[in-house]
Amino acid sequence: MAQMTEETEIVVIGAGITGITAAYYLLKEGKDVVVIEKNEVASEASGANAGFACRPSLLNPTLLEISKVALQEYQHLGQELKYDIEYETCGFLVLLEDRDSLKEWTHQVEERHKLGLGEVGILDPEEVHGLEPHVVRPEFGGYYDPLSGHINPLHLVPGLAERLTELGGKVYERTEVLEIKTKNQRVESVITNKGQIKANYIINACGAYAGSIGRMVGIGIPVKPHRHHMLVTEALPPLVHCVVEGGAYRQAEVASASAAGESKAAARTGAAIINQQKKGNLLLGITGDFAGFNKLTTFDDICTISEMAIKYVPLLKDLHVSIIRTWANHYPSTTDYLPILGAVGGIEGFVIATGLNDYGLEVGAGIGKVVSELVCFGKTTIPIESFNLSRFH
Amino acid sequence: MDEELIICRCEEITKEEIVDAIRKGARSISAVKRRTGAGKGLCQGKSCGRLVARILNEEIGIPIRETIPATYRPPIRPIPVSDLGGVKIDGAND
């Protein structure tokens, strides 16, 4: 590509789930949009995740509302794209192994019912066993959300990027932002290694890397890369139906550890997460830690996850199931485990959309939709003020 | 005939699918892997990685030795989950 100078209405930085869906909805509203991506479409967390399209475990009404929109959108998008996005509402099951977990999730169910998520409930141990006969029977039953499920993010995000191009949008890969120019407290243009693009709006959808873009306009965006490990087994006949979670997975603890200075040991979390992909491979997870921008996997994490998986699905041992691949990624983690979303005081036209922690896909298309509303109409159907950057100051 | 050639034997991905991914913008082995699934099977791209590099070269002229390899992470060969669970070594990798 020759050095370009072009003009558009909106530049979206970052071709992950947030940036691509925001661009898609903006385009549908008749806007002129350019997406720029320093690497390739879905090459960070949006392409390296478990594909869970569940309702977030965090009891936040706004987040749950956005997630509802996202999951509805995935139904539509599945029909619009050329790819099978493999969206399936296989259900989300939390194994309740002690009285405290039962109490906590019973409370969650009551609160979720109030928010209109009437389909979630508590199953007794027998019902859990009926649903997941190969999973160790939990003493106190399970929390079950039948409308949660999974999706193939590597069909969804690049598929949407392709659709964007067909609709007249532009996606520039391997294009890195070097500088953002402002004039009279308004964004003016983006300078990249491939040239300059003038725009009225700039959307920072760079996930864990959003901080470096924020610095270009002189603002601090408190997102940190949180490394998550996952393992993939060889393909197997149907073994597990739901997205199954067992063991303590307390994101709030990560948040407080991170707030308290993110000592690596304190910020290490883990839970057995087990799900089976369409092709039959099992996804096993998850351990999380703060390791900077290091994406390599460690022997220690691989062993921890293997141990958890065998504990909950002992058949993995009997069947001599093998791990074929491991991966780690960077989730954009925030200290309060909530997104950073919206306009920034003093810089007209600069919009932030990051901090989706480990629930990016669960809310992604909803976040994209809300961001597109904000840019097009200056207001959103779901109020997002509580997610503004200003809460940190 | 050539187009139907299986490049990734583990996941049964054909040359046609690889070429299609490159024409849609894939410029690296990782990008081809993300778009097609080539290299995600039992052998984790040990043979198809080299073939994909060659196709990238044929299609868009990226020199084979300049092709960025996919990120390699353990395990090198499939390892049973049961061999890994319970062998935690304190301090390994930290």
Residue B69's pLDDT band, with cuts at 50, 70 and 90, is confident
Give me the percent of chain A exceeding a pLDDT of 90. 84
Report strand pairing: A33-36 vs A170-172: parallel
> Per-residue pLDDT for B29 more than 80?
yes
B83 has pLDDT over 50? yes
Residue range A152-176: mean pLDDT, rounded: 94
Per-residue pLDDT at A268: 53
**DSSP readout, A126-195?**
HHHHHH-TTSPPPTT-EEEETT-EE--HHHHHHHHHHHHHHTT-EEE-S--EEEEEEETTEEEEEEETTE
- The answer to whether residue A353 is domain-embedded is yes
pLDDT score of B1: 55
Q: What is the CATH number of the domain that holds A137?
A: 3.30.9.10
Q: What is the mean pLDDT of chain A?
A: 92
Q: Are residues A329 and A268 in the same domain?
A: yes
At residue A285, does pLDDT exceed 80? yes
Domain membership of residue A257 (yes or no) is yes
Q: Which of residues 244-303 of A touch B (CB under 8 A)?
A: 284, 295-303
Q: For testing the chain A interface, which of B17, B81, B82, B88 should be mutated: the one with the most A CBs within 10 Å? A: B81
B75 falls within a domain: yes
The DSSP call for residue A251 is: H
What residues in A contact B88, CB-CB < 8 Å? 300, 303-304, 307
Chain B residues within 8 Å of chain A (Cβ atoms)? 24-28, 30-31, 34-35, 37, 40-42, 44, 71, 73-75, 78-82, 84-89, 92-94
The type of residue at B94 is D
Among A310, A333, A356, where does a domain finish? A333
Over residues A32-53, the pLDDT tens digits come to 999 999 999 999 999 999 999 9
Looking at residue A256, its pLDDT comes to 47
What's residue A254's pLDDT?
45
Per-residue pLDDT at B87: 64
Residue A82 within any structural domain of the chain: no
Domain contains B91? no
A83: in domain? no
The answer to whether residues A174 and A196 touch, using CB atoms and an 8 Å cutoff, is no
Q: What are the tens digits of pLDDT across the range A229-238?
A: 999 999 999 9
The mean pLDDT value for A370-379 works out to: 97
Which 8-state DSSP code applies to residue B93?
T
Average pLDDT of the residues of chain B: 87
Q: What CATH number is given to the structural domain containing B17?
A: 1.10.10.1100
Confidence of residue A252 (pLDDT cuts 50, 70, 90): very low
**Does residue A54 have a pLDDT over 60?**
yes
Mean pLDDT of A348-366: 96
Asked if residue A138 and residue A113 are part of one domain, the reply reads yes
* Chain B nearest-CA residue for A311: B85
Residue of B nearest to A298 (CA): B93
In a domain, A86, yes or no: no
Residues A225-249 as b or e (16 or more Cβ within 10 Å = b)? bbbbbbbbbbbbeebbbbbbbbbeb
Range of the domain at B71: 2-83
φ, ψ for residue A178, nearest 5 deg:
-105, -30
Same domain, A185 and A71: yes
Residue A217 and residue A228 share a domain? no
Q: Each residue of A255-276: pLDDT tens digit?
A: 444 444 444 333 456 788 999 9
- Residue A87 forms part of a structural domain: no
pLDDT of B88 > 90? The answer is no
- One domain for residues A270 and A380: no
The enclosing domain of A201 has a CATH number of 3.50.50.60
Count of domains observed in chain B: 1
Q: Are residues A47 and A63 in the same domain?
A: yes
Residue A181 is predicted with a pLDDT of 98
In the predicted model, is pLDDT for residue A253 greater than 50? no
Question: Which residue, A383, A369, A356, A355, is CA-closest to A76?
Answer: A369
Q: Are residues A125 and A244 in the same domain?
A: yes
Give pLDDT, residue A42: 94
Look up residue A40 and give its amino acid.
E
Q: Is residue B88 part of a domain?
A: no
Q: Are A246 and A324 contained in the same domain?
A: yes
What is the structure's pLDDT at B53?
95
Average pLDDT rounded to a whole number, residues A89-109 = 94
In a domain, B57, yes or no: yes
Question: Are residues A354 and A365 both part of a single domain?
Answer: yes
From chain A, pick out residues whose CB is under 8 angstroms from the CB of B35: 154, 158
A217 and A356 together in one domain: yes
User: Is the distance from CB of A88 to CB of A238 less than 8 angstroms?
Assistant: no
**Structural domain boundaries enclosing A160:** 4-77+153-223+337-392
How many domains, in total, are found in chain A? Answer: 2
Cα separation, A350 vs A185, in Å, equals: 10
Task: Find the mean pLDDT for residues A180-199.
Answer: 97
Q: Chain B contacts of A284, Cβ < 8 Å?
A: 81
Position B93 in a domain: no
State how far residue A47 is from chain B, nearest Cα, in angstroms.
8
Is residue B61 a part of any domain in this protein? yes
Averaged pLDDT for residues A305-313: 93
Closest in B25, B81, B88 to A233, CB measured: B81
